[in-house]
Amino acid sequence: MGTHSREGTVVAPGKARVKPPPLFKVLLLNDDYTPMEFVVIVLQSFFAMTQEQAYQVMLKVHREGMGVCGVYPRDVATTKVEQVLNYARKHQHPLQCVMEES
């Protein structure tokens, strides 16, 4: 015996009928011009990192070219990327921030 979904289709009892919402990684990209201290402030301000965490992530981006700032639902990730880009632009730094489905 099965239960009925909203569309009226019979599905097996207890079986998930909806996919969980996708999550997105927010990534910071390295460049040669943005000061290290500015990147640390960005990570503390928008990604709730301690100074130590922010410094480690900044160093990883500096050495490896990119690094993960956090993983969020789509709308939160979109807002984080916008906040970082606006803040960098306001301070005339070329810092780049992108999101990708994880």
- Applying CB under 6 A, which residues contact ligand TYC? 28-32, 34-36, 39, 58, 61-62, 95
Least distance from ligand TYC to the Cβ atom of residue 27, Å: 9
Fill in the DSSP letter of residue 6: T
What is d(CA 49, CA 1) in angstroms, rounded to the nearest whole number?
50
Closer residue to ligand TYC, CB minimum distance, 14 or 33: 33
Closer residue to ligand TYC, CB minimum distance, 29 or 98: 29
What is d(CA 70, CA 94) in angstroms, rounded to the nearest whole number?
20
- Structural tokens at position 28: 């910071």
Least distance from ligand TYC to the Cβ atom of residue 34, Å: 4
